[in-house]
Structure 1
Amino acid sequence: MGVQGSGKSTIGELLAERLGAQFLDGDTLHPAVNKAVMAAGNALQDEHRLPWLHEVGRCLAADYPNGIVIACSALKRSYRDLLRGHVGDLFVVDPEGSIDLIAARLRARTHEFMPPALLQSQFDTLEVRTDDERGMTVDIVEPPGTIVERIVAALAAETEGGEVDRVADHAR
């Protein structure tokens, strides 16, 4: 989960590779109308987000032999609850960083449809993961590889015997 530029895709790709799982960037599931709204510099409203989130949830619930890792903003608790309606044992990683750090990252990249001007609206919408939500918060100042190893360790600690090869099944 998280705002644009927080490292969701980078962390997600590395985590999926580490787990031998499928990776999917949730942005690819946005319909053209959502992409057009954001490209025009407008934040999505719930009527745009909810069908997209249900599609992300269907992908999470699909039968992937080695599990799946999906990068998805899921900025509000209600959005993550919706995803948990599809996958009850959802493990959410919340990459946390300052708006200044993330804005600097955004200045160094281009995105197909998400302009940096929407960053403040994302921070305004963001509801950080709470302790009653399965998952963990990570500091994006750490290198992505370090973050991934922390995630794998947390997932392994949840599985019987801490076996990393069984972690992918629990990564959803």
Structure 2
Amino acid sequence: MFVHVVDEELALKLVELSDAERIFELTDRSRLALREWLPWLDHTKTVQDTKDFIQSGAESFALGNSLNCAIVYRGEIAGIAGFNEIDEAKKTAYIGYWLDTEYQGNGIMTRVAAALTDYALTERGLNKVEIRAAAGNHKSRNIPVRLGFTEEGIIRHGEWLYDHFVDSVVYGMLKSEWLSEKAK
């Protein structure tokens, strides 16, 4: 099983079926806040929906195409983060994340995104990490900015959110840039 220690209070672990109830609980209690920016909330109505997500993610992980992790903060699952897609042909990983509202404001997601970026570029040998966020989602957009990612552009109407399109801002980090920053 994949477990990646981020620091003394934070780790990432491959999501397991036994995590489904906790993840659904977090999803359900943060539903309104998450729904503002994430398109899958209306399709996650039961614990079984969360189990289906976990099973699909496990199959994709086995093929090397993604990595869905539980964010474990001080021993409790606090959200989900990982690689929505790993494109070996392009040597690129695409980070996605969400955090229960109770845990926001503690720097958790910045540390998680840094750990995922480092893992992709140093341990997985990929060349680029991308993070995409809705143009209006400033909390999410601040994470790649804090980590020194480059804003590469805007995909107009990049995502459909229930009843409207939102533009997506693309941020990228190249391996050479990441290693240069780590060396400082």
Which range, TM-score by smaller chain?
0.3 to 0.5
Task: Using structure 1 for the length normalisation, give the TM-score.
Answer: 0.34
Task: Using structure 2 for the length normalisation, give the TM-score.
Answer: 0.32
Q: Which structure dedicates a bigger proportion of its chain to helix?
A: 1
More RCO (CA 8 Å, sep 6+): 1
